[in-house]
A and B are shown apart, each in its own frame.
Chain A
Amino acid sequence: MIRRRLLAGFFLFMLGCTVASRIYDSVTVPKVTTSPARRKAVETRVEGTGTVKVKEKQFCRIRPGLRISRIEVIPGSEVKEGDPLFWYDMESVQERQEELQKETEQIMLAIEKEQISRTDWPGLTRTETARWELSLAERELEEGEREFQDILSDHEAELERLQAAYEDGLYRTEEELWRQQERDWESARQEVDTLRDSRDEAVREQQRKIEDLEEELDELPEEEESRREKLEKQLKRAREDLEAVSDSWEERVDTARFQLDLLDRQEDLIRKGQTSVQEARRENYESAVKQEEERLKAARKELEAQRKAVERARWQLEAAGKEDDSSRKTRDQQKQISLLTVKGLELDKKEKEKEAAMLEALAEAGGRVNAPRAGVVVDMELEEGKTSTGQELLSLTWGGAWFEGTFLKEEQELVVGDRLQISIPGSGRSQEAVIGRMNLLGEAEGVFQADLEGGNIKLGAVTSYCCTRQSEIFEKVIPLSALRKDMKGYYCLVARPVSTILGEEFRAERVNVEVLFRGREEAAVDGPVFDTDKVITGENKAIGEGSRVRPVSGFQTGQR
């Protein structure tokens, strides 16, 4: 019996656990809200801040160099036409008047100086000078050519004379040479004969001396040894002297014979006209000819120089003509400049006179400056007691303003014509305006201007704006809450049914997407998201890829 109870109890236990696990499962499985990807436009909302600025201004002229004695208005002051804006100091006005008087007189003096400087005085031009120099050079050239012709004819005559004198002198020299040659040769031959005879005589004398010594030596008895030795020594010396005398005389004879041979060769030279005298005459002739050539060459060079001088004089005449033309034009230009300077000075003079008249009027008004028209003072940079520089701003406006706002070019998009809702500070209301101008040249921010109508917002007010825009139509648009991002990029989780033990369940599958456009509440994406997919837009518990989920229509509390 107990076994059956155990069996029944087991079934009951399993039944109870089944119910409990189902309940637990229904509690623990994250509930998610889903939305399909739709084909639609994405709504964007551009928000930012801007400033209300003046649309049109009239700037009052500030005279430089005048001290400000009193200021009647501040920025934002409303003025009527003719109301005083500020006062110039009268003392500085009078000082300025005196300065103007001096400046006017200086201008008149400068005009007079310019008129004087324009006066021309006649003189000799460079062309005239050059022309005179050219005529002079031409005359010198004519004279030089004539002189050259004379030199040329003299040169030819001199050359002929020199050649004739040379040839005549050469002939006469040859005859003299032959006569001298014959005398010299005869003299040389006699010298040779004399020397031969003297040699033979000297040799014979020495030989006799030797023969005498030999005979004496032969005849000398053997007992006289010392005498013999002495004689032998004398004999030896005599023989040596014979050789020396013979050699000496042979040398003299050879020398005389050599002189004779030279005279023989001299004959050949005379015959060929190559003697030193003939050479000297030829050199003298050639030197004279060369001198004549040099003289002609110098004359030709001088003539060439005179021709070049003429050419140079012509070029200088041409250059002088150009320089004179240039100088004339320069003078004309200087005259024109002077005229213009005079006109400019006259204009300055008129300006000074005009300023003097205005200062006169200002002095008559006691230094007071009035508002040119009714409006609101926008800029007032003048300070009491300070001398004006003329750069200070003093402007009035008479209505009309625009809203100037900025936006981030990379994240926000605005175009001309977009309608803005501009908040009216302190009222909780907004005013509509249309973007009329836009400047996109900035690095990060774009600037736009929208005309404001009605004057509901004060000038200078900083306030916010918003602009709602519709993008183009995208194929897959999902709520921003469905768009997730991690290290790998943008993705969304899609609840897709899977078959499990408990039947068909939904599991969160990761779908990587590329964000094409991001709006205020939705984003256009590109990726494998299908029309039938349930894109998870919210969950009551943290879920990830592969998590079991339970799509519901909505829940009270959510983490995202």
Chain B
Amino acid sequence: MKRRHWFTGAVLLAACLLVWLPLILMTAAAWMPEDELYWRYLSPLGMGRDRVRAALLPSYPSLAAMKELLIGSPGFFAMFWNSCIQVIPVAAGQFLIGAPAAWAFARFRFPGKKQLFGIYVILMILPFQVTQVSGYLVLDRLGVLNTHAAMILPGIWSTLPVFIMTRSFETIPEVLTEAAYLDGAGVWYTFLHIGLPLGYPGIATALMLSFTDGWNALEQPLTYLKDKDLWPISLYLPDIARDKAAVAFAAALITCFLPVLVYLNCQEELEQGVASSGLKQ
């Protein structure tokens, strides 16, 4: 039994390594000097037909790329803070707007509820390219194109977090809310003191996914933001010059840090939320 356990563990570890391989290669490349990087990854960079010489560790570790990125690339940090400016308000807005909406969908009965929720689901599954033009026109009418608001407002009213939070609120037993009502609690009191604490995993999951979605956004900033000084960090790597490949790997590594840290902070809630969103009472 114990031997079988070890075998399963080894298989899973091998699978994990396979999944982690790009991340490991990226981490190693971030510490490579420029010449070694070209020597190993010349062909993928489109600068030759030589074979790729992938390495899990650099032959000649160097801090040059990190130094160039962290000290000599103020644009990278400008984009990092742009991403923060655009993503954090979205998460906060979704918490303020999406959570009550999800509570309403989960706890109230009103005419057209199912149809309205159906529209939410449809909007959720539509790809961005479908709503791109209409979204552009709306933002233009609102006069917020080429501002951070062009990225924040559509994110606040995103439908996926509402869907996830609705599913999470629906897992809260009815007896708890009914008991609160019987004890004289109002709607907002019940939402704030019973809904939010008990639906926290769902809310955290929704916000985590929303954060990741905003952090990795490519089409939205390219469509709505004209000035480069408003671009988020997701556009740094496509914009970086080819002769700064080592810096690009370093930037990719640093870019990963924040989502990983956010995930580590919300890991338990995310697991509970994902699990709860697929369960029915």
Contacts and interface: CB of A to CB of B under 8 A. Distances in A.
Contact of B74 (A10, A22, A504): A22
Given A499-B227, A503-B229, A25 B74 contact: yes
Question: Interface residues of B: mostly helix, strand, loop or mixed?
Answer: helix
A20 B70 CA distance: 8
B72 A18 contact: no
A502 B239 CA distance: 13
Question: Interface residues of A: mostly helix, strand, loop or mixed?
Answer: helix
Nearest to B231: A501
B71 to A, nearest CB: 5
Nearest to A7: B261
A25 B72 contact: yes
B72 A10 contact: no
B182 interface: no
Contact of A500 (B70, B75, B80, B258): B75
Contacts of B76: 21
A24 B79 contact: no
B6 interface: no
B71 A4 contact: no
A10 B257 contact: yes
Contacts of B257: 10
Contacts of A18: 74, 77-78, 80-81
A514 to B, nearest CB: 34
Interface in A481-513: 499-504
- Which of A499, A500, A501, A504 is packed against the most chain B CB atoms within 10 Å? A501
B182 to A, nearest CB: 38
B73 interface: yes
A3 B265 contact: yes
Contacts of B231: 501
Contacts of A6: 261, 264
B137 interface: no
A3 B264 contact: yes
Interface string B225-240: 0011101000010010
B77 A21 contact: yes
A500 B74 contact: no
Given A17-B70, A25-B72, A501 B79 contact: yes
Given A6-B261, A14-B80, A21 B74 contact: yes
B97 interface: no
Interface in B217-266: 227-229, 231, 236, 239, 257-258, 261-262, 264-265
B30 to A, nearest CB: 15
Interface residues of A, number: 20
A501 B75 contact: yes
Nearest to A9: B261
Contacts of A4: 265
Contacts of B79: 501
Given A14-B80, A501-B231, A21 B262 contact: no
A24 B80 CA distance: 18
Contacts of A20: 70-71
B215 to A, nearest CB: 14
B71 A7 contact: no
A501 B236 CA distance: 9
A18 B84 CA distance: 13
A28 interface: yes
B228 A499 contact: yes
B210 to A, nearest CB: 17
A415 B261 CA distance: 81
Interface in A1-57: 3-4, 6-7, 10, 14, 17-18, 20-22, 24-25, 28
Given A500-B228, A501-B236, 8 more contacts: A10-B257, A14-B81, A21-B71, A21-B77, A499-B227, A500-B229, A501-B75, A501-B229
27 contacts: A3-B264, A6-B261, A6-B264, A7-B261, A7-B262, A7-B265, A10-B258, A14-B77, A14-B80, A17-B70, A17-B71, A17-B77, A18-B74, A20-B70, A21-B70, A21-B71, A21-B73, A21-B77, A24-B71, A24-B72, A499-B227, A499-B229, A500-B75, A501-B78, A501-B228, A502-B75, A503-B229
